[in-house]
Amino acid sequence: NAGVTQTPKFRILKIGQSMTLQCAQDMNHNYMYWYRQDPGMGLKLIYYSVGAGITDKGEVPNGYNVSRSTTEDFPLRLELAAPSQTSVYFCASSMTGDREKLFFGSGTQLSVL
């Protein structure tokens, strides 16, 4: 069972570079989420999507963009990387009837230097 797959697992960026974090799920879940986890801060919601073609901002969306062209994929884009975006990023998904039971990916450790 693949579940939620995130790539890459690790990445180092220079300030000002851009990149896309990939997220795919094979459970046909409508809901998908991007969180970032900073030490001692818990998980903060960046963006979420309730279905293909629909996205919305979470608690900390600045500096990020998302798209949801298919049910399976929910990429997260960093346009101009900044040191403040150094974090661990988690993608998650959930089904309509049990929205709060999130299935998480393994995370992407991103460092911006």
Partner 1 sequence: AQSVSQHNHHVILSEAASLELGCNYSYGGTVNLFWYVQYPGQHLQLLLKYFSGDPLVKGIKGFEAEFIKSKFSFNLRKPSVQWSDTAEYFCAVVSGSARQLTFGSGTQLTVLP
CA distance 91 to 76: 9
Q: Closest approach of Cβ 43 to partner 1, in Å?
A: 4
CA distance 16 to 109: 18
* Paired strand residues for 65: 77
Q: Is 90 in the site for partner 1 (CB under 8 A)?
A: yes
Q: Which residue has the tokens 């998904």?
A: 93
Are 80 and 66 in contact by the 8 Å Cβ rule? The answer is no
- 85 phi and psi angles, rounded to 5 deg: -95, 0
Residue 27, token pair as written in the block? 């459970």
Q: Total binding residues for partner 1 by CB under 8 A? A: 21
Q: Is 42 in the site for partner 1 (CB under 8 A)?
A: yes
Which CB sits closer to partner 1, 17 or 86?
A: 86
Stretch that binds partner 1, among 19-27, 70-78, 79-87, 96-104 (CB under 8 A): 96-104
Q: Is 104 in the site for partner 1 (CB under 8 A)?
A: yes
- Which positions touch partner 1 (CB under 8 A)? 3-4, 33, 35, 40-45, 48, 58, 90, 92, 100-106
